[in-house]
Chain A
Amino acid sequence: MTTLEKVKTEWFSNVKGDVLAGIVVALALIPEAIAFSIIAGVDPMVGLYASFCISIVIAFIGGRPGMISGATGAMALLMVTLVAEHGLEYLLAATILTGVLQILFGVFRLSVFMKLVPRSVMIGFVNALAILIFTSQLQHFVGETWVMYSLVALTLAIIYILPRFTRAIPSTLVAIVVVTALAIFMNFGVRTVGDMGTLPSTLPIFLIPDIPLNLDTLAIIFPYSLALAVVGILESLLTQNIVDDMTDTESDKNKESRGQGIANVTTGFFGGMAGCAMIGQSVINVKSGATGRLSSLTAGIVLLGMIITLQGVVVQIPMAALAGIMIMVSIGTFDWSSLMNIHRIPRSDAAVMITVVSVVVYTHDLSIGVFAGIIMSALFFAWKISKVKVEEHFDMKTNAMTYEVHGQLFFASVEDYLDQINFDADVQKVTIDLSNAHLWDDSAVGAIDKTEHKFEQRHIEVAITGMNKESTKLMDKIGGLSKASGH
């Protein structure tokens, strides 16, 4: 496909579907962008600018047409302490640095390292995210009246029941409009978005964050940026795979990492918070008929148009409606099938998943949870693979013993292997059959040497057989003393 053809299919092969889906997404983005800003502790405009900038930039340079990116809960949750301790300007600087790290991630094609993140960690990640989004809403219920509770209930009822009758308009938008109208006309006096901060009435403008450019600043923002970059890439690549699967097409993972990075750099300079791909919005987008890049561009433009023209109304949205929507987002984010299947998956996987969730809920930091999960999975893996089975076959006639070794020989498993060899047996000849084993490192080579040495000390003839090519190579390289290495 030539570049021109590619541009044509990615942009204009589905104009009507993309534009309509883009409008639907823009409508659904508004309440989320506001709510995520409130989670992060910044003015709603920071999240709205972010969603606007990111969706426009990603439309042009993202790797996955049809995917929607913007301000997200996962990212917002990582920023809370930075904003609380140092303020908005540091968040913007951290956002730019996050983008730079993600660009590097893409340029050096590091998306292959995503393989190192086990599935049980990813499941723990989305479940922890869902729980955090839910608990972040509890503060809005403190000291509230039954009026607020019923508005939340009404919001949820509309969100879940309306789609049974029509799916033409997003039910979240209907819920927002109905609940806001009710609150205005009935004069309930409940807390609104306007009480949480100001909204933009202008286009975002280019600004360099007002911070001292020195090492102290870097020391403050770098840990946040690193966590944001990792979580952003993780959620973006997960979303990308989901959109790939829904549309039955493939897409460039490194291009997406780079695109996310450029989008975050841009967002930081235009006063928005760091964001990433949004699972929920991307699913809504594809379900609404989008396949191309035009959907993300439309979403961005419509979003900005609406926040500027409807600013006066947006400030009157009750917090109850937003809390309802966030509860819906958290229910949708949670992977319910993992709860239903938890008795069926291996115990170690379940333990990793639960650990990730617990660590994240305790630390409020998704990146720490993911890191803990990866380490724990690696340990479990090493533990499982370090089990070596040794079968004994004794030949009475020749007084010879054959040990058939099954498994992986490496630093963690050599003990287990040596324990199963009986060096004091009264035999004439011993054969170690390695046909079903693999030598991985120095310790493995050492164990084989030791085996030979010990038997020879006891004047028992030893033979090593069936060593595979790679293991033999390793033996040669490390220069084992064994006869099997050819020395």
Chain B
Amino acid sequence: MYKNILLAIDGSDHSYRATEKAIALAELTPDAAIEILYVVPGNKSKSDVLHYGDSDSASRKRTKMLQEYEKMIKEKSIPVETTVLHGKDGIAEAIIAHANEGGYDTLVLGSRGLSAVQTMVLGSVSHKVMKYVKAPVMMVK
């Protein structure tokens, strides 16, 4: 049923729960595989470069952060791949483009659970993704 699962995470606490749900989905179908997608928001480049020194160190830090989730999936013997994209203008746009190009059976998305004010300023990624991704989307709160 769900063979090609795309798991979009941002490293927040909700990412763990989203990964658990993606694993649960993958276990339903033999030979199912999960692709982890992490989009670096355009605005995050500035703080990441400031905090980690340069672009290379920032990339290394991100790969390290994603390894935890890869490990969770590998432990269940599910094949896993990781993609890091740079969402210059909006995280949602990058997720939508990648999800619609790849022919995935489903997209599992961790919601950050922002407050009304934060949503107003930052915009709701999950809302946009739900609206424009063609595959069924599971939003994990």
Interface on A for B, CB 8 Å cutoff?
A: 119, 122-123, 126, 160, 164, 167, 238, 241-242, 244-248, 250, 279, 283, 286-289, 335-338
Contacts and interface: CB of A to CB of B under 8 A. Distances in A.
Contact of B51 (A160, A246, A247, A337): A337
Contacts of A250: 55
B42 A279 contact: no
B82 to A, nearest CB: 15
B58 A245 contact: yes
B54 interface: yes
A337 B54 contact: no
Contacts of A336: 47
Contact of B42 (A160, A287, A335, A337): A287
Contacts of B51: 119, 123, 337-338
Contacts of A245: 40, 45, 48-49, 55, 58-59, 86
Interface string B31-60: 000000000101101111111111100110
B55 A244 contact: yes
B89 interface: yes
B91 to A, nearest CB: 12
A119 B45 CA distance: 14
Interface residues of B, number: 22
Contacts of A338: 47, 50-51
A337 B47 contact: yes
Given A164-B120, A241-B55, A289-B89, A246 B50 contact: no
Specify the main secondary structure of chain A where it touches its partner: helix
Nearest to A119: B53
Interface in B45-90: 45-55, 58-59, 86, 88-89
Given A245-B58, A287-B88, A126 B50 contact: yes
Contacts of A288: 89
B42 A246 contact: yes
5 contacts: A241-B54, A245-B59, A246-B88, A279-B46, A335-B46
A247 B123 CA distance: 22
Contact of A248 (B47, B53, B86): B86
A247 B86 contact: yes
A241 B59 CA distance: 12
Contacts of B86: 245-248
A122 B50 CA distance: 7
Specify the main secondary structure of chain B where it touches its partner: helix
A185 B49 CA distance: 45
A287 B52 CA distance: 22
A286 B120 CA distance: 23
Contacts of B89: 167, 287-289
B121 interface: yes
A248 B50 CA distance: 16
A335 B46 CA distance: 8
A119 B42 contact: no
Contacts of A241: 49, 54-55
A246 B48 CA distance: 10
Given A119-B53, A238-B49, 18 more contacts: A123-B51, A126-B50, A160-B121, A238-B50, A242-B55, A244-B55, A245-B40, A245-B45, A245-B55, A245-B58, A245-B86, A246-B88, A247-B88, A283-B42, A286-B88, A287-B89, A335-B46, A337-B47
Nearest to B51: A119
Nearest to A126: B50
A242 B45 contact: yes
A245 B50 CA distance: 11
Contacts of A244: 54-55
A245 B40 CA distance: 9
B53 to A, nearest CB: 6
A394 B59 CA distance: 48
A13 to B, nearest CB: 16
A238 B54 CA distance: 8
Most chain B beta-carbon contacts within 10 A, residue among A241, A247, A283, A287: A241
Nearest to B62: A245
A323 B55 CA distance: 33
A246 B87 CA distance: 8
A377 to B, nearest CB: 13
A236 to B, nearest CB: 13
B46 A119 contact: no
A167 B120 CA distance: 15
Given A246-B42, A287-B88, A164 B123 contact: yes
Given A160-B121, A247-B86, A248-B86, A283 B46 contact: yes
Contacts of A122: 50
Nearest to B53: A119
Contacts of A287: 42, 88-89
Contacts of B123: 164
B46 to A, nearest CB: 5
Nearest to B86: A248
Contacts of B47: 335-338
Contacts of B46: 242, 279, 283, 335
A242 B49 contact: yes
Contacts of A248: 86
Contacts of B43: 283
A241 B48 CA distance: 10
B108 to A, nearest CB: 24
B5 to A, nearest CB: 25
Most chain A beta-carbon contacts within 10 A, residue among B51, B59, B120: B51
Contacts of B50: 119, 122-123, 126, 238, 335, 338
A246 B123 CA distance: 20
